[in-house]
Structure 1
Amino acid sequence: LAFEDPSAFRVKSLGELLRALGVFRLCSFPVLVNNCGKLMSVARTLLGRRGFSLLLRPTVYAQFVAGENESEISQSMEKMSSLGLRPMLAVPIEEDLGESTREKRYDDNMEAMLECVRMSHSNAWCKDPMMQLKITALLSPELCVKLTTLIAQQPYDLDLLVRAMDGETVSFPGLDEKEAAHFLCSLKRFNKISEASVNKVRVLVDAEYTYMNPALSLVTMAMMKKFNKDGAWIWNTYQCYLKESRSLLLDALSLSKNEGFCLGVKLVRGAYMDKERKLAEKEGRLDPIHKSWSNTND
């Protein structure tokens, strides 16, 4: 699909194109992007819930969200398919440090993802449907950070996580009782989503920040070991802007061969460049990001 070709926009109305241009222009102002949360909070206070909804729904919300119900989502997906694009449903939920919620919220997120699996499988958007999954929508980011520290010192065996997914009571080295209970609940959530999607919908697990990615990969690899026996139904994401991406991918390939499962891989540029660099500078670490696009090809 080439955007220089006017036919790429044939499924868009003039109003939709003008809206897209307007939102794109707004997103080009750093002051708006960096303070969008505060601005939205002020707007909600001044306009009220109804006024805020009337302003946002037909503009920013409509630009980035496929729809509010299955019918609207189907229409958006069918438009993409008609252009030769491969649509992928995503539940845009993730957490960072300090944003953890309770098990009920994580369970609600799981139900939303299960609904994504159902819609992706039951609609004819494409022959090989996919969906996106964020680990921190189902597992506390604080625990992800702790797990990252723990497995750097003493790697967890994938079989341990697989047994936990199967409902077996296991002991996780380095975790206290509360942390272990939450991790067990989270692994069961991942298991439910994987069971619902295997042989139906490919689940592409997103990478997030470097200070928690090892834990995310650990969980994803455990899902792969259990469910990627006859095909790559669970995929992990590798951020090519990271200097360590090549070695991480080679390690994953070696692990999949040794453990006997299919490795699912999604390669992306990466979306957290600015924060990763600022954090590395603040902590006195080397910049984990490649200096240029050409460096990612080495």
Structure 2
Amino acid sequence: MAQTTASLHTPGQFDPDNLQVTFCNKTDSEMKLAYWLFNMMGMPALVKAGGMATILALRLGLPIKPLIRNTLYRHFCGGETVQEAQQVVQKLAAARVQTVLDYAAEAQDTEPGFDAVRDEVLRNIALAGDTRGFSCISVKLTGIGHNSIYEKLHLKQNLSPEEQKAFARTEARLDEICRAAAEADITVYIDAEESWLQNPVDELAEEMMRRYNKERAVVFNTLQMYRTDRVAYLKACLRRFENEPVILGIKIVRGAYLEKEQNRAEAQGYPCPVFTRKADSDKSFNEAIDICLDNLHRVELCAATHNEQSITYLTKRIRQDNISNHRDRIHFSQLYGMSDNLTYNLAAAGYNASKYLPYGDVATAVPYLIRRAEENTSIAGQMGRELVLLQKEMRRRKL
């Protein structure tokens, strides 16, 4: 892969405590909103109850959309349309932060619903190719295919003829997206799913990498490193592609379904597929970093994490190992609305940093937003860290 001039620059020191860089894009009113939100999200019981109440209110047709739009939605989403999201994309770009555009609507479990998601993603790829405003998109395979079919495939159960045709349509949708991305020079991050759906997602992601990752990583598969088997999967994946001219796209996250995974395993009486101790997830995540860096000649790595220790570890490895093409091979990413001290200071130091930017109609994106809020409350120390940084900056601004 050719190296760009920027990629040859040695990155600067990553300083997650530089508040002026952290909040360079935040107005005073945005600071106050963020402080209020993170105070609320520091109470998990309130988040859970509020989420249930919000869904009920929307079902009953109560006029709460403006309230959602001006609070949670404003802080964590780019807008209801891709045109609105473009304004946020430009704002991020001004701070040298890239965007991973994420269509957040929860798809209907129907063929027309899956086609609608595919069409929206294809329009975004075309827009990215035309404007060069952003270079990455996120795709959730449960948005373009039936959960029930993924689950049967995961269990190696035979599909009916109708299910086989439906799954072929799912693969065709994904292929259309990946082919369009390759032609437009866009990157596709395929999201991870629950453990009982993941095997066919892995297989589809690997097939797309085999088709399109010849000269660069067009397609990334996502590995949830809180799963006990993901280090083994990563090593096996590297072995499978050892003699193939393919650049593997590997995005590592800690994981998004901890409570759901533990509860299901207990209810159905099978071994829990996720670590029960955070220290084990941390070790697994950093081991994946090491494996990818050892194979960087045939891997592109995206470390999508809010964990400051893992990010610091990776930036130190880049500097110590003198990885000159780090901007081409190594990406960092955090959710929009969270951990700005990581994203903005990574970008300021010269690393390839991005925000996951969701957008979509308020009503259809609410389940997504609630899931994000519940995830955020479960990140150890996250709310306290966000609040401390906000308090310091608000004092500096005399708010």
How high is the TM-score relative to the length of structure 2? Answer: 0.62
Give, in angstroms, the shift of residue 115 of structure 1: 2.0
The separation in 1 between residues aligned to 2:245 and 2:52, in whole angstroms, is 49
Q: Does 1:140 align with 2:146?
A: yes
Task: Tell me the equivalent position of 1:13.
Answer: 27
> How far, CA to CA, are the matches of 1:138 and 1:144 in structure 2?
11
Distance 1:125 1:223, change over 3 A: same
CA positional deviation for 1:259: 4.6
Give the match for residue 295 of structure 1: 283
- Helix, strand or coil: the match of 1:35? helix
Matches within 5 A, 1:1-298: 2=16, 4-44=18-58, 48=61, 51-93=63-105, 101-125=109-133, 129-150=135-156, 174-199=158-183, 200-290=185-275, 291-293=277-279, 294-296=282-284, 297=286
The alignment's C-alpha RMSD in Å is: 2.2
The question of whether the paired residues in 1 share the 8 Å contact of 2:109 and 2:145 is answered with no
Greater relative contact order (CA < 8 Å, ≥ 6 in sequence)? 2
CA distance in 2, matches of 1:94, 1:221: 24
Residue aligning to 1:162: none
- Displacement of 1:266 in angstroms is 0.5
Would the alpha carbon gap of residues 150 and 42 (structure 1) be closer, same or farther in structure 2, given more than 3 Å must change? closer
Aligned-residue sequence identity (percent) comes to 26
CA distance in 2, matches of 1:228, 1:117: 17
How far residue 193 of structure 1 moved from its aligned partner, in angstroms, is: 0.6
Deviation at 1:58, TM superposition (A): 1.4
Counterpart of 1:150 in 2: which secondary structure? Answer: coil
Task: Give CA-to-partner distance per residue, 1:30-58, whole Å, 9 cap, x none.
Answer: 22332344311343367x45x32222111
Could you tell me whether the CA contact under 8 Å between 1:243 and 1:289 is conserved in 2?
A: yes
The amino acid that maps onto 2:34 is A
Q: Any conservation in 2 of the 1:8–1:83 contact (CA below 8 Å)?
A: no
Instruction: Judge conservation of contact 1:70–1:119 (CA < 8 Å) in 2.
Output: no
Cα distance in 2 for partners of 1:5, 1:242 equals 34
1:241 is paired with a residue whose SS is coil
Report Cα offsets for 1:190-222 as digits up to 9, x if no partner: 111111100410101011111111111011111
Secondary structure of 1:55's aligned partner = helix
- The answer (yes or no) to whether the contact 1:89–1:120 under 8 Å persists in 2 is no
With over 3 angstroms needed to count, the CA separation of the structure-2 counterparts of 1:220 and 1:94, relative to structure 1, is farther
**Which residue identity is paired with 2:110?**
R
Q: Using the alignment, how far apart are the partners of 1:83 and 1:276 within structure 2?
A: 37
Check conservation: 2:101, 2:138, Cα contact below 8 A: yes
Question: Contact conserved, 2:182 with 2:212, CA < 8 A, in 1?
Answer: yes
Count of matched residue positions in the alignment of Structure 1 and Structure 2: 268
- The one-letter code of the counterpart of 2:278 is S
Partner secondary structure for residue 132 of structure 1 = strand
**Alpha-carbon separation, structure 2, partners of 1:136 and 1:29:** 30
Opposite residue 149 of structure 1, the aligned amino acid is L
Given that 1:241 and 1:270 are in contact with CA atoms closer than 8 Å, whether structure 2 keeps it comes out as yes
Per-residue deviation at 1:12? 1.2
Distance change (3 Å), C-alpha of 1:145 and 1:42: closer
Residue 91 of structure 1: how far off its partner (Å): 1.5
For residues 116 and 160 of structure 2, the distance between their equivalents in structure 1, rounded to whole angstroms, comes to: 25
Structure 2 Cα separation of the partners of residues 5 and 274 of structure 1: 33
Amino acid aligned to 2:209? M
Query: C-alpha separation between the residues in 1 aligned to 2:81 and 2:56?
Result: 28
* TM-score normalised by the chain length of structure 1: 0.82
Unaligned runs of 5+ in 1: 152-173
Distance 1:45 1:211 in 2: 29
8 Å CA contact 1:205–1:234 kept in 2: the answer is yes
Deviation at residue 72 of structure 1 after TM alignment: 2.5
Kept in 2, the 8 Å contact 1:133–1:204? The answer is yes
> Does structure 2 retain, via aligned residues, the 8 Å contact 1:117–1:196?
yes
Query: In structure 2, the residue corresponding to 1:198 is in which secondary structure?
Result: helix
Instruction: Give the 4+ runs in structure 1 shifted more than 6 A.
Output: none
Question: 1:264, 1:41 → 2: CA distance?
Answer: 36
Instruction: Provide structure 2 residue ranges, at least 5 long, that are not aligned to the other structure.
Output: 1-14, 288-399
1:286 aligned counterpart, secondary structure: coil
Q: Aligned residue for 2:322?
A: none
| Superposition deviation, residue 3 in structure 1 | 5.1
Change in Cα spacing, 1:42 to 1:286, as seen in structure 2 (3 Å) is closer
